A and B are shown apart, each in its own frame.
Chain A
Amino acid sequence: MALKAFSKFTRRLVLAVAAGGGLLALNACDATSDGASGAPTQLLNVSYDPTRELYEEVNAAFAARWAQDHGGDANLNIEMSHGGSGRQARAVIDGLEADVVTLALPYDIDQIASTGLIASDWQTRLPRNSAPYTSTMVFLVRAGNPKNIRDWNDLVRADVAVITPNPKTSGGARWNYLAAWGYALRQPGGNSESARNFVRQLYANVPVLDTGARGATTTFAQRSIGDVLITWENEAHLALTEFGEGQFEIVTPSISILAEPSVAWVDGNVARHGTREAAEAYLRFLYTPDAQDIAARRYFRPSDPDALARHAARFLSLNSSPQAKCSAIGRAFTPPISRTARSSTRSAPVRDDNDRPSPSSMAVHGAERFARFLAGARLHSCLSRLLPLAAAGGFDVAPVGSGA
């Protein structure tokens, strides 16, 4: 009697297991047939952290445009993946099948290009260095600016805790690093040694190194850690609206960097997916007045001078701040692409940590490692061209949004 009941149980168990196996087989079929057919065109845009809201709007606009251009039956579906720029580039290299990448800095796309997945001349395939929008790095402080943070040199004060993401995984953090470096370099008597010390001091004040810009914003705004957040201009404005106007203030430093988030279609993947046409159209769409307006409304600076002029008021706060008088506000370093300084890179001295081990060694160590990585890496990328030039004092200074 009992045996009979048990065997019923076992029969059911066997059935359940068989069902599970069937599911597995089904999934295998699904996986193989995936991509072969496909009435709606699928695009995967692998992007960095603070562009979530931007591309939500851009994608809807482009899908409408695409349907309009290709008759009613053309369906386009754009999928998004967001994360720290460096991490996202790594994922594409490891096989994430992005049709387009819209990352925080050219360096990350160069990394993908170095595997052959993207043509090495990608930066010249689209207008204005393949940067449809630009941005700059600003400070976000708590309401009333209790620590009276005005400029970069306030960030190295002992009583200030700075939130910035990890430059090894986050593109925005690399721009932050370079902006701080550039500031130190332009101080009286500034040189590569003083800049390195300045950056080291700054990173000693960082209690949390998040992997991406968005994580850093949540750390600062939601978890209330730190006195100042160094972040993208657009991310700072987003934080103001998301968390209520009264909570935070934007402080624009006397000098910052012209950040050029770059875009490219991934040749290897679009060839495989047959999405080359759609991918290129999508990226070119970013340069149209419609998309430039969307970018401006999200506080990305349009790279099209006309669009920038249309939205000048939105970015005026930066130029009209009190510090503007001393010339450099809203101005930036732009790396001259043509010049390289490999020899000076190699000879750049790499400091050992033996002089003063810092208590918050985690952050310092990260920064040191990054500096070493910049100074010592085999260089072919934009970013690594930038720093040796910085060390040699070779930055070109150009106003943000002057076009070109």
Chain B
Amino acid sequence: MRSLYHSSRKQEKLTESITMSSEPKDSTKTPAEQSAAAVIENKRSPADFLKAVLGRPVNVRLNTGTDYRGVLACLDGYMNIAMEQTEEYVDGQLKSKYGDCFIRGNNVLYISSPTR
């Protein structure tokens, strides 16, 4: 099982990289302080976004144009996604429903969250 280790490592790196790039001159702050600073600056890294949408209704769009709407159960660094109460829309038409489903990350174009 690579992902538990791998994805959390990757996410860590994601968070680091964005806070580093936003504050290149200040290396004295802890990562937590840096990410707090990033929030104050109204920046939102992909890691922040993912934290915010976990357990919430999302729309996942694939490269093929198919949309999946459901509750985001979890995801990893490859953007593999587990969703609940999923509805599949092809060309905007509801095609089928899945109680649980796994979406392979390479097919994902974007994840959108309807509200904030």
Do A and B interact with each other, yes or no?
Answer: no
